[in-house]
Structure 1
Amino acid sequence: MAEKQNRVAEDVVEYCLFPLLSESENGSDDIKNLQQCINSFLTFLSPTLIDVIWQNEGFKLKAVEEKGSSPVHLLGETNFGENVQDEWFIVYLIFQLTKHFTGLVAKIRDSDEEFLLIEAADGLPKWLNPESAENRVYIYNGELHIIPIPQSPADVAAFPRSITSIGDAVECVRTYSEQTRASKQIQTAINNRIKNFPDLMSEHTHYAHCYIPASIAAVLDEKPQLIAPAVRAFYYRDPIDLKCCRTFQYFRPGTRVVHRTRLTRCLYAQLVHQNFQPDKRSGWVIPSTSSPKFRSHDLGMKLAHGFEIMCHKSESGGNHSNINDDQPTSGVRWQQYIQTLKDKNYFRGELEGSVLYEQLMGNARKFYKENFRHSNRGDDPGAEVLHLLKTLDVDIEGRRRAEQYLESPDDDSWMNLTPESLDEMMRERSGNYGNQEDTDNVFDLGKIADSMKAFVGNVSSADGAEFPSAGDDVEEDETQFEDSCSDSSSDMDEYGWEEDEEGKTSSSKHARIKRPPSLDKYMDIMDKELSKTDVGKSFEKQKKKTEKDTPGKVQTPDKDINEEDDDFQPVDIDLNTVKNLLESYGAQEGLAGPTSNILGSMGVTIPPNMDNIENGENTNIPSKINAEKKPMPKPRPKPAARTSTNTTQKAAPPRPPPPRAARTPRARLDSKETDV
């Protein structure tokens, strides 16, 4: 059986890296080699990671010795909290590492196990499920690899049916990379999710004006990443934490200055959407919400509370970590680190000694000191803030003079989600984005009928029905919907059957299926029951073809059912399907419903009824098809309410009539018209 792995905690992503190491008999040599790999990996990623503000934890690696069937490898765990973007940024980093370092195989998962397969669910093979995917999904050469299940005896030697060793699985990926590479559809789904990194991290950075104590401004200028633990301390505060904020010990409001603070969008939204009033004893006074200074004062007050809580916890808990500022910045490893930064144009062509060059060098030196230590401990952020308060020189008056030169804060309109932008996001995420191109700007009703035919023809099982993809099983050169409305068919065509020469029945699209003898009996009983009702009148019928409609056709002596019964008109299945779906879609009134969900899963999006929108009516029956509206009868007013004979009050006036029902358009396809 496959080796069962421990479950990953919520909001945590776990990644394992299996570098290609030379064989050694001493286990300590493997650990040393892994440590060298860590230095190489961090050096390669440092230009991308230096300025990143993580939500909770950053990218980190540690060496793990061989245990059971798992070989020596590098292990990393990152708590991404509420910001899922951090998780996908780590996926991007793993793909970049495996693409750059030869022989490196990686594996990544979270509390949902193989979340990469969830992202590419539409392209997975039938045999792949959460149980069979155990230890079969890896990243190699910048691509996703899936070890297949052997389909023949010849495949058993290469692809084991059950993977009992992670080491064997890693070697299988390296040896049979061509056979294990996932399909193009799966690769495209993953690449679409990570292709905007690392630029997306910069796009999701938000600059805001915060009215904060000058000491906090100095701390954030020295290390902007400390903004995340401060926001987290405020966001997850409790009444015990707020006791220290009654009288501030470290960050009193008397030294406040306006500071242009860098946050992520997630951190900014967490601060803005927290309703909080400070204690009156704290000395913090917030202007009214109508004041233009409210946002900067409100953000600064919340940040000050977060920093105060963070420092108080560190002091009371005795978490005085030794801040290592003596990390050597010389030697071969430092020179390799700086050379990698220069190769990746980290210094932006600045001359050594310039202001920007020194600022970038300072950030690179901080990253080197924090990430290239051999100890894998993390410093307590509160202790780090206390250490910076003792070492930094805070110029309050200088910061107040510089307020007039601050750049404007970023626009935060991205927090307001409009219905149009939400629909756009849903179309992009569902994979149906861009499938609505129509050169004539006219919606084809035939798409609905063809999609439903493809859906009915698909395979279903105990796991549910399968939706066809956009364009699957729908022929582009098929006869238009108009032709299907006008063509005559036999009574068996109504149920998808055709009769052959031997009297057997078969489906026009699938293999021949023998009609059960009992079906005729059931059909007769059903016809007798329905003959006593008006159900048959509710269906749209096909038009009869006359001799003028079929010129040149030689009449045969055999009579079909249309000639035997002049009143018989076959039911038009396509037309009824489209009509019922449109009525159901109109009843949704713009909300989610079964029709939009089913058609959306098949890549069909019904356009809104622009005619009714212009008339002020709330209906969603499509009108981008050329349509003519049928007049609807005016509703009769309800009778006036009766009054009691014991009173002299007048009868209440009649209530206004209910709104008119949604009007069903008539679809015009080419030159003919068909009532829907």
Structure 2
Amino acid sequence: MDIKYEDTVQCLFFKASQDNVNWDELCQTLNATAYALSKGYIWHRDEFKICRPLITSEYDTPSHLESKTCFGDNIEDEWFIAYLVFKLTEVHNGLIVQIEDNDGDFLLIEAADFLPIWANPETTRNRVFIYNNNVHLIPPTLAELKTPLEITDALKLIVDHPGETKASLQVEKAILERIVAYPNRLRELCHMATISLPIDVASLLILKPALISHLVNSYCNHDIIDEKKCKKPDLHNCIDVSIQFTKFQYAMILNSKPVNSSGHRNPLLQKKKNEIGYKLAFGFQIIMNESKRDKFSSLEYNKYINNLKKNNYFNGNIEGSKDYNQLLLKAQAYFKETESPVISYIYENIAQLMSTNEYKELKQSLQQNSHLYLFEEDSDNWLNVSPDEIDDFLNKNYRKQVQSDDLTKPSIVTSGLSNFLSQRSDYEGIEDNTDEPENGDIQFDCDQFITTLKEMLDVVTLNESDDDCDFSDIETQDYNVVETQLDQELASKICEENKNFKDDSCILSNLVNSMKEEGLSGPTSNILKSIGIKKSEILDSDDDDEFN
């Protein structure tokens, strides 16, 4: 796997009945269905592909198929894979799928607000599956939480008790809301742009549009070594063609740092189509430089072979023997398809495509017929997002609504901050102190306190041996001391009450001034956001003097 990417989605495909399953045939069928459903989708990094595992897991896992897809920075791929998995279980009866990413059961993370109280990352291991186009969550009534649930037992529970294991409607709704827009959403995710490209790069992208992902990623993730090895693309032998990006890729390549940006820039790069074309051509050169590397001597390949040896893939055969070499060839083929660094895999695909007659003929005809590959360009106004639009989005998805009228009172702001900061939290979030009274102020009744204290002093019982003692002086002295202390405390309390509004106003004024100085974002704005207060609602008035 390419070291630069870490975010992956892993799926395990099981059958409800393990009898007479032709796994090779099933693998081909599932891939054909997935390819038909994803036709036209531009993957950000890896394409979704299902295969038979090369080695058996160290756990007692039933026979299965698997897929491991690296989606890099674009989380849209992750949810599109979830859509494909749901559709696969709908089309192919008896298919049960376990799907996870680096964070675990990301389906449950999406539905966290509606999960049963027992469900957490420690208790849901081997309990979450997709079966017959539904989410299934095995409850503790079928399998106790204190005992780890083996995957073989989990599959049997889902097949035998589909009604009891099916997740609640709220959980399913929260998950399906992320994928219900597919496949209609695919066009919305794309952006068509006119780009000036060298003829060889333009020909490749016309024949195989999905290559755009690898050109973008190669450029945006290049390092100083790649930059030194590549020659500057020739900007004078270029043609204009329409290239389809995902919006994520278009924004990524458009805002990436130009090569040698500190030096003198070519005047041609001042045009957007030339600048993007230059970057794509540079990414193409990085990929083509891969021809000088031997993928079977790479660090990734060595780790891969060592892992196979550790799991006894070679069955104790001596290295160099006939059986060992047969297994090695099979392992190398698997590595090229699924485990090799993506840049090496793409180079082989490009080299094979460039050797075809179709590519050579297209390259010759483009010089005169490039206009045939020009289409209407999409507007890129979607790149410009105002602060108010961001606030509306965050309010809609992540914040509770706050009444704007309340924000006119300084005490609301300060009390909200105080309440938030005074709450306790642990790894599950802030504790809900619902049992505590809303008003935590201590109510002090001076008259009642004096009366109670006097009664306590009057109830003193004298021992017979102390009959001659005069307690009246002691009682009067203690009473006078207590009364003096009470008077001082009450006076201090009254002064504090009189200053409350001024203190609140002073604090709010400081907050307003701080937000004005920190620009679009800063610590003050972040604190206010955490209690549901939008910065724009405080700064929308020009009358700052009322807080001074």
Where on the TM-score scale, by shorter chain, does this alignment land: which range? 0.5 to 0.7
Q: Distance in 1 between matches of 2:223 and 2:526?
A: 44
Give, in angstroms, the shift of residue 145 of structure 1: 2.4
Matches within 5 A, 1:49-88: 49-64=38-53, 67=57, 68-88=59-79
The answer to whether the aligner puts 1:136 opposite 2:127 as a matched pair is yes
In structure 2, the CA distance between the partners of 1:386 and 1:315, relative to structure 1 (3 Å rule), is: farther
Q: Distance in 1 between matches of 2:535 and 2:220?
A: 43
The answer to whether the aligner puts 1:662 opposite 2:547 as a matched pair is yes
CA deviation map 1:95-154 (0-9, x unaligned):
2222333332211112212222222222233332222222222222333222222xxxxx
The answer to whether the aligner puts 1:206 opposite 2:218 as a matched pair is no
Give the residue type in structure 1 aligned to 2:489: S
Tell me what 2:31 maps to.
Answer: 42
Q: Any conservation in 2 of the 1:599–1:605 contact (CA below 8 Å)? A: no
Q: Distance in 1 between matches of 2:281 and 2:160?
A: 56
- The one of 354, 359, 381 aligned to 1:389: 354
CA deviation map 1:610-631 (0-9, x unaligned):
xx735x34x7xxxxxxxxxxxx
- The one of 608, 619, 636 aligned to 2:537: 608
Q: Distance in 2 between matches of 1:585 and 1:162?
A: 52
Give, in angstroms, the shift of residue 580 of structure 1: 11
Structure 1: which 5+ runs fail to align?
Answer: 1-8, 25-29, 150-154, 320-373, 474-483, 485-489, 494-523, 542-570, 620-659, 664-676
Structure 2: which 5+ runs fail to align?
Answer: 297-332, 338-343, 446-481
In structure 2, the CA distance between the partners of 1:51 and 1:580, relative to structure 1 (3 Å rule), is: same
TM-score (norm 1): 0.56
Q: Distance in 2 between matches of 1:594 and 1:415?
A: 24
Q: Distance in 2 between matches of 1:186 and 1:146?
A: 10
Tell me what 1:380 maps to.
Answer: 345
SS at 1:62's partner residue?
Answer: coil
Give the residue type in structure 2 aligned to 1:52: Y
Q: Distance in 2 between matches of 1:168 and 1:60?
A: 27
In structure 2, the CA distance between the partners of 1:462 and 1:203, relative to structure 1 (3 Å rule), is: closer
Q: Distance in 2 between matches of 1:143 and 1:202?
A: 26
Q: Any conservation in 2 of the 1:209–1:409 contact (CA below 8 Å)? A: yes
Q: Distance in 2 between matches of 1:461 and 1:238?
A: 42
- The one of 16, 25, 31 aligned to 1:20: 16
Q: Any conservation in 2 of the 1:585–1:596 contact (CA below 8 Å)? A: no
In structure 2, the CA distance between the partners of 1:597 and 1:214, relative to structure 1 (3 Å rule), is: closer
Give the residue type in structure 2 aligned to 1:389: M
In structure 2, the CA distance between the partners of 1:384 and 1:465, relative to structure 1 (3 Å rule), is: closer
Q: Any conservation in 1 of the 2:241–2:373 contact (CA below 8 Å)? A: no
Tell me what 2:430 maps to.
Answer: 465
Tell me what 2:382 maps to.
Answer: 414
Q: Distance in 1 between matches of 2:154 and 2:8?
A: 24
- The one of 257, 266, 286 aligned to 1:286: 266
Give the residue type in structure 2 aligned to 1:266: F
Give the residue type in structure 2 aligned to 1:662: F
Q: Any conservation in 2 of the 1:98–1:140 contact (CA below 8 Å)? A: yes
Q: Any conservation in 2 of the 1:311–1:383 contact (CA below 8 Å)? A: no
Q: Any conservation in 1 of the 2:137–2:167 contact (CA below 8 Å)? A: yes
Q: What is the alpha-carbon root mean square deviation over aligned residues?
A: 4.5
Larger RCO (CA within 8 A; separation ≥ 6): 2
Give, in angstroms, the shift of residue 18 of structure 1: 1.4
Q: Any conservation in 2 of the 1:286–1:298 contact (CA below 8 Å)? A: no
The answer to whether the aligner puts 1:175 opposite 2:60 as a matched pair is no
Matches within 5 A, 1:55-204: 55-64=44-53, 67=57, 68-149=59-140, 155=141, 158-159=143-144, 161-204=146-189
Q: Distance in 2 between matches of 1:81 and 1:227?
A: 15
In structure 2, the CA distance between the partners of 1:460 and 1:236, relative to structure 1 (3 Å rule), is: closer
In structure 2, the CA distance between the partners of 1:45 and 1:530, relative to structure 1 (3 Å rule), is: farther
Tell me what 2:489 maps to.
Answer: 531
In structure 2, the CA distance between the partners of 1:594 and 1:84, relative to structure 1 (3 Å rule), is: closer
Matches within 5 A, 1:286-325: 286-287=266-267, 291=270, 294-317=271-294
SS at 2:178's partner residue?
Answer: helix
Q: Distance in 1 between matches of 2:387 and 2:283?
A: 34
SS at 1:258's partner residue?
Answer: strand
In structure 2, the CA distance between the partners of 1:232 and 1:444, relative to structure 1 (3 Å rule), is: closer
Q: Distance in 1 between matches of 2:99 and 2:285?
A: 37
In structure 2, the CA distance between the partners of 1:400 and 1:416, relative to structure 1 (3 Å rule), is: farther
CA deviation map 1:46-68 (0-9, x unaligned):
33212121111011111247643
TM-score (norm 2): 0.67
Matches within 5 A, 1:504-653: 528=486, 531=489, 533-539=491-497, 589=515, 596-597=528-529, 599-600=531-532, 608=537, 613=540, 616-617=542-543
Q: Distance in 1 between matches of 2:38 and 2:222?
A: 29
Give the residue type in structure 1 aligned to 2:203: A
Q: Which moved more, 1:397-406 or 1:42-51?
A: 397-406
CA deviation map 1:26-83 (0-9, x unaligned):
xxxx4xx222222332333333212121111011111247643211111110111111
SS at 1:194's partner residue?
Answer: coil
Tell me what 1:426 maps to.
Answer: 394
Q: Any conservation in 2 of the 1:210–1:297 contact (CA below 8 Å)? A: yes
The answer to whether the aligner puts 1:265 opposite 2:265 as a matched pair is no
